[in-house]
Structure 1
Amino acid sequence: MRLRHKPWAADYIKENEGLMVLDPFEQKGKWQDLFEKNQPIGLEIGTGKGQFIAGMGAQYPDENFIGIEKAESIIVTAIQKVKDQYLNNVHLVHENAEDLRDMFAENEVDTIYLNFSDPWPKTRHEKRRLTYHTYLEQYQNILKDDGKIVMKTDNQNLFEYSLVSFSQFGMKLEDVTLDLHELDDEMNVMTEYEEKFSSKGQPIYRCIAKF
């Protein structure tokens, strides 16, 4: 899907410096300093339009959240959603996080959320999948010893690939759910994609993995 260009997006990001982290690489090892309270940090990679990160911030005020999104024209919607709820435990980053170790210190993050990541279905693009082993190496580095990865997707092939990737990396699978919405989990915070796909009867896959 082609993104609609928003010529005002760059200025809007700068205007919301209190919410946006304009120098994320300078925050390495100091992310807690941005928040009002020292609390567990949840990191969403590919935060999209922000429904999940805003929902998590509202539902879990005793946790801090960071959302990374590389698309300028998309993250502006996330900014507005967080602002509308007056959340002080959420910060956003407009960046292409090729190596999270450049942004985060060892053991700095408690939970990583991978929501409806691009499946990159072609074999030659395997290295771009966010559950490829080089990404898992990054996650292991920045996560605390008891940290976890929570993954949700509608793509069965990516889900199966990820389960194998986690297992081959020596990770422990704590939860594997083949149809999340059958569980009627009231604590589940949905993304925009999740609402769209689940409303059409598409099963949502979720797993929780630890190193």
Structure 2
Amino acid sequence: MRIRKKKWAAPELAECPFYTKEPDQYKGKWMSWFKKEQPIHLEVGCGKGTFAGTMAKNHPDINYIAVDIKEDMLGVARRNVVKIFGEQEVTNLVLVQKNCEQIGDTFSSEDNIERMYINFCNPWPREKHKKRRLTFPRKLVQYREFLPDNGEIHFKTDDDELFEESIEYFKECNFEITEITYDLHNSDIDGGPMTEHEKMFSDEGIKIKYLTAVKK
């Protein structure tokens, strides 16, 4: 997702108590960031933050880490999270600036991240760019390093080719697909809060694809 430069993003994030630009120092000890010791869920490519913010507000018994590479995007996410939480203090969510190519530097098996969310990532349709996909095998291998056995990846997309090829990526990397739908909004599966992209695509009549993959 492209986003215009936000001059206010950096100073607002610098004052934000639920943001870090230096996440690698927490590798293996992310639980220390949060006030409560409880399960940790991770969203990679969190965009404008409404998904992670809504999940954190609705599930106070879970700690959430929301990662994005773009400072300007995380500035928007911070504002959205504040709006979602209102007067309530944000204690179970942290916004993290990190390139997902180096995500292995930020998390380890000691963090016990039970679940990951990948929502509407860039499909990178050209063959030479597919290695940049967040579901590409070399990325899944990195995720396996810190996901526990039976840890889950929840994946949503509007892109048919990305979805079909990601199914094969998951199988190749020894993930078991335990639930899958090619039309999320007409299924019994709970796909969590609707993202901005999800609403836009759904309004255009594009069916949302969704799966849960479990590390074996």
Number of equivalent positions: 210
Aligned to 2:12: 12
CA deviations on 1:43-70 (whole Å, 9 max, x unpaired) are 1001000110011101211111000111
Q: Which moved more, 1:162-171 or 1:150-159?
A: 162-171
1:145 partner SS:
coil
Distance in 1 of aligned mates of 2:3 and 2:203: 23
> Alpha carbons of 1:110 and 1:2: their partners in 2 closer, same or farther (altered >3 Å)?
closer
Aligned to 1:77: 76
Q: Does 1:97 align with 2:89?
A: no
Aligned to 1:35: 34
Task: Decide whether the 8 Å contact of 1:149 with 1:208 is kept in 2.
Answer: yes
Task: Decide whether the 8 Å contact of 1:75 with 1:94 is kept in 2.
Answer: yes
Task: Decide whether the 8 Å contact of 1:107 with 1:145 is kept in 2.
Answer: no
Task: Decide whether the 8 Å contact of 2:178 with 2:213 is kept in 1.
Answer: yes
Q: Which moved more, 1:82-91 or 1:148-157?
A: 82-91
Distance in 1 of aligned mates of 2:131 and 2:40: 26
CA deviations on 1:136-186 (whole Å, 9 max, x unpaired) are 111101111121100000001100010011112222110111100002656
Distance in 1 of aligned mates of 2:179 and 2:207: 16
Q: Name structure 1 gaps, 5 residues minimum.
A: none
Give 2:46's aligned amino acid. T
Q: Does 1:122 align with 2:133?
A: no
Give 1:38's aligned amino acid. E
Distance in 2 of aligned mates of 1:52 and 1:28: 24
Task: Decide whether the 8 Å contact of 1:41 with 1:65 is kept in 2.
Answer: yes
> Alpha carbons of 1:37 and 1:127: their partners in 2 closer, same or farther (altered >3 Å)?
same
Task: Decide whether the 8 Å contact of 2:119 with 2:156 is kept in 1.
Answer: yes
Give 1:52's aligned amino acid. F
TM-score (norm 2): 0.92
Aligned sequence identity (%): 39
Q: Which moved more, 1:116-125 or 1:164-173?
A: 164-173
Distance in 1 of aligned mates of 2:38 and 2:150: 15
Structure 1 runs of 4+ aligned residues shifted over 6 Å read: none
Give 1:25's aligned amino acid. D
Aligned to 2:164: 160
Task: Decide whether the 8 Å contact of 1:107 with 1:141 is kept in 2.
Answer: no
Q: Does 1:56 align with 2:55?
A: yes
